[in-house]
Chains A and B, each alone.
Chain A
Amino acid sequence: MNEAPAFPLRVRSALGDERLHVALGRATEALRSRRSAAIGSLEGFDEVRDLARKIKMELLADLSTHLQRFEERLVANGVTVHWAETGADANRIVGEIAKSHAVRRIVKSKSMATEETHLNHALQREGMEVVETDLGEYIVQLAEDRPSHIILPIIHLTREDVGDVMHRRIGVPRTGDPQTLAAYARAKLREEFLGADMGITGANFGVVETGTICLVTNEGNGRMVTTLPRVHVAVMGIEKLVPTLADLDAFLKLLARSATGQKITTYTTLIRGPRRAGDECGPEAMHVVLLDNGRSRILSGENAEILGCIRCGACLNACPIYKSIGGHAYGDTYPGPIGAIVTPGLRGLHGWSDLPAASTLCGACRDVCPIRLDIPRMLLGLRRDTVREEGAPLSLRLGLKVFAWIAPRPALYRAATRMARALLRFRARDGWLRHAPGLASGWTRMRDLRAPAARTFQQLWKERKS
């Protein structure tokens, strides 16, 4: 159930935030142009997309077998495997792991799965110290904020905001210079890495054939977290598998290009269990928590395809709605077009049915999706489900009935549109309507509506022919 303020309120406050618009516009535009340049750097990019889509859909069709095989390989590699039905279960399991290893200090690299389960708060309630180490997530944690983009958590903050947070929370001299701020964060977080007992990560991919956890980071915090502490816990959504290392190659070719416009992320780390005999570093114990938390329910229905998402964020940057309202308005962990499907899938449609409606269905998300997920189809399906479950408003039902009655009667239809046109033109000033009447009033709350033309196309056409 959604406990955030109602969606229209969240949207209204986002739309009124001028600074947010500037920040979103700048960042999404930059990411879009970088992505375009990057896909040009790979010959046959679209063929790799086709391949990745095929691999993922075939894997999902038999996910249970792949998961068991993956578990076998993990165990053979010396990893302890845990299964979590819900987010709360995952949090409890991680807490128990920490206690069993007498852990007090924990460092985390960026993970959407643990964001989804609100793991940090659960561990803090147990008296453990948890520090996010991705720069953006670290700022989010210091500011007691929430991330607003899958790969750029603080896309909604300016450099001055960041300087302000670091000044207030860790006493950094006030500055808005990103290099200086990053240098302070480096020094502070380096101490955390060296002093931590346990590292928590997500998993970008799990490779079935070898029992490998694949992590990609640009900062190197993923490496720190899996190299220095004596325990490593990876929390992984059960859908994140790929069958083989050769398959992983295809997904890696797509992920960074779609996300940041890099050919590959700076660090791609493949972890196959705790340190081996003779290793001088690396965790002594490794645990993997396999998280369901609603994924099996998504798999059972017509949106099963969404489980192929690799969390690159490209659909966010392409989406006209995301660009207007930002990530927080979506109200949960996953924003943008992908969030509008994943959130109702994981949490249930009730309380989240506004999200699938927040789309123009323009299809830009599908065009950029590296896995070619048919996002508009799924959004439409969820809208249908919403109407089925919650019913349509009376005004819409009546309006559609009236329209259905008028539309097949040409003379009536023409008369009705003539009247509507006359009414709108009467109310317009200088060719624009500031306030449209009736059902259309929602449209003019945020923008003006152009008044209809004096003569219709059909009238003009007739005149031209005569």
Chain B
Amino acid sequence: MSARAAVLARLAAAQRTARLPTPAAAKPLVSTPRSVAECRERFARELAGLGVDCHAESSPEAVRARVSALIEGKKVLSWDPDQMPYGVGALLSGAARGSSPRAEQAQAEIGVTGCHGAIAETGSLAVLSGPGHSRSVSLLPPVHVAIVSPPDFCFTMGEFFAREAGRIGAAACCTFITGPSRTADIELTLTLGVHGPGKVVVVVGP
């Protein structure tokens, strides 16, 4: 008998004698849709709590100016320019991309991405893997700059799962990033940037 058959047979037998509690009915999670303004406000509040710099900009020009200032003089790794909102791609012509040699990506000082969702309740950025938006960009450099546009907002992760089921299904990987990389393994002392970026900057566009 294969291991698979053996395990399944044991489980089938176990389920007949298992003594499991029968919990009473429970309410499913319901999230009431919130306005973009409400999401923006909560998102910014959560980011502040996480130690993330959040810049709200009122025009595409202002977004580009902000990004330009952030990457000034730095070795940049970015999503492909055509994946970036607000024409930010135009600033990234000299940047390394997901398709660049890994050694080059590993040397980048700052990673620039868009996002596929912004979860207001927790201040999380959702990024999906795919051509032109490599997972490495939000992971390898010590600083991560993410650009959020209002249609990205959801209040809860559950809403995001429901709304973006198709896109999530088409990607090998969906990551929620909530603040900078952190550890408290040594005497519960907070230490940032142990593996992922130690600094996260979010630019929210109009």
* CB contact between B183 and one of A182, A281, A282, A300 (< 8 Å): that residue: A182
By a CB distance below 8 angstroms, the chain B residues around A133 are: 195
Q: How far does the Cβ of A394 sit from chain B's closest Cβ, in whole Å?
A: 32
CB distance from A23 to the nearest CB of B (A): 8
B130 touches A266 (CB 8 A): no
**Closest Cβ of chain B: how far from A79's Cβ, in Å?**
10
**With A and B bound together, what is the CA distance between A57 and B129 in angstroms?**
33
Residues in B with CB closer than 8 Å to A249 are: 29, 156-158, 161
Whether B37 is near chain A, meaning CB under 8 Å from some CB there, is no
Which of B2, B172, B187 is within 8 Å of A178, CB to CB?
B187
Which residues of chain A (10-58) have a CB below 8 Å from chain B?
23, 26-27, 30-31, 47-48, 50-51, 53-54, 57
Chain A residues within an 8 Å CB radius of B106: 190, 194
Give A269-283 interface residues, CB cut-off 8 Å to B: 269-276, 278-282
Query: Does A99 count as interface, using CB distance less than 8 angstroms?
Result: no
Q: Does B14 have its Cβ within 8 Å of any Cβ on chain A?
A: yes
> B185 and A154: CB pair below 8 A?
yes
| Given A83-B2, A264-B122, A279-B129, residue A273 in contact with residue B182 (CB < 8 A) | no
Chain A nearest CB, measured from B153 CB (Å): 16
**Shortest Cβ gap from B181 to chain A (Å):** 4
Cβ contacts under 8 Å, A274 to chain B: 172
Given contacts A61-B15, A267-B176, contact A89 B29 (CB under 8 A): no
Is there contact, CB below 8 Å, between B12 and A246?
A: no
Among B19-27, B53-61, B87-95, B109-117, the one that faces the other chain is B19-27
**Cβ of B178: which chain A residues have Cβ within 8 Å of it?**
262-268
B169-190 contact mask (Cβ, 8 Å, vs A): 1 or 0: 1111111111111111111110
By the criterion CB–CB under 8 Å, are A182 and B194 in contact?
Answer: yes
Residue numbers in A under 8 Å from B3 (CB-CB): 82-85, 89
Query: Do B131 and A63 touch (CB < 8 A)?
Result: no
Enumerate B37-74 residues with CB–CB distance to A below 8 Å: 46
Minimum CB–CB distance for B121 against chain A, Å: 8
Chain B min CB distance to A234 (Å): 13
Given contacts A249-B161, A300-B14, contact A182 B169 (CB under 8 A): no
- Asked, given contacts A50-B26, A152-B188, A223-B139, whether A280 binds B98 with beta carbons under 8 Å apart, the answer is yes
Q: Provide the residues of chain B in CB contact with A182, threshold 8 Å.
A: 183, 186, 191, 193-194
Rounded to whole angstroms, the CA-CA distance of A106 and B12 in the bound complex is: 35
Asked if A64 meets B27 with Cβ closer than 8 Å, knowing A219-B181, A265-B178, the reply is no
Min CB distance A210 to B, Å, is 7
Question: Which residue in B22, B24, B195 is a CB contact (below 8 Å) of A189?
Answer: B195
Give every chain B residue within 8 A of A224 (Cβ-Cβ): 139, 195-196
Check A221/B195 contact, CB under 8 A, given A250-B29, A281-B134, A282-B135: yes
B27 CB to nearest chain A CB (Å):
6
State whether B98 touches A60 (Cβ < 8 A). no
A83-B3, A158-B187, A159-B187 known; A282+B182 contact, CB < 8 A: no
Give per-residue flags for A88-111: 1 if the beta carbon is below 8 A from chain B beta carbons, else 0: 010000000000000000000000
In Å, the complex CA distance between A299 and B18 comes to 5
Using a Cβ–Cβ cut-off of 8 Å, how many residues does chain B contribute to the interface with A?
A: 75
Expressed in whole angstroms, the minimum distance between the Cβ of A153 and any Cβ of chain B is: 7
In the bound complex, how far is the Cα of B136 from the Cα of A152, in angstroms?
Answer: 27
Closest-CB distance, B147 to chain A (whole angstroms): 19
Q: State whether A186 touches B11 (Cβ < 8 A).
A: no
Bound form: Cα–Cα A300–B7 in Å: 12
At the interface, yes or no: A365 with Cβ under 8 Å from chain B? no
**Chain A nearest Cβ from B17, distance in angstroms:** 5
Query: What's the least CB distance linking B104 to chain A, in Å?
Result: 12
Residue A332, interface by CB 8 Å: no
Residues of A within 8 A of B170 (CB): 276
Given contacts A61-B20, A223-B196, contact A178 B130 (CB under 8 A): no
A290 within 8 A of B: yes
- In the bound complex, do residue A301 and residue B18 qualify as a contact, i.e. CB atoms below 8 Å apart? yes
Given contacts A221-B195, A279-B130, A280-B98, contact A299 B14 (CB under 8 A): yes
Binding site for B on A (CB under 8 A): 23, 26-27, 30-31, 47-48, 50-51, 53-54, 57, 60-64, 67-68, 82-85, 89, 133-136, 139, 152-154, 157-159, 162, 178-179, 181-182, 185-186, 189-190, 193-194, 210, 218-221, 223-224, 226-228, 238, 245-246, 248-250, 252-253, 260, 262-276, 278-282, 290, 292, 296-297, 299-302, 304-305, 374
The 4 closest A-B pairs by CB, nearest first: A220-B196, A278-B131, A280-B98, A300-B14
Q: Can you list 30 residue pairs at the A/B interface with Cβ under 8 Å? A: A26-B188, A51-B28, A61-B15, A64-B15, A83-B7, A84-B3, A135-B183, A136-B183, A139-B185, A152-B188, A162-B186, A179-B189, A185-B194, A218-B182, A223-B175, A228-B102, A238-B7, A245-B161, A262-B178, A268-B178, A269-B174, A271-B172, A272-B172, A275-B129, A281-B98, A281-B136, A282-B172, A282-B173, A299-B11, A304-B18
Contact residues of B with A, CB < 8 Å?
Answer: 2-4, 6-8, 10-15, 17-29, 46, 97-99, 102, 106, 121-122, 124, 129-131, 134-136, 139, 156-158, 161-162, 165, 168-189, 191, 193-197
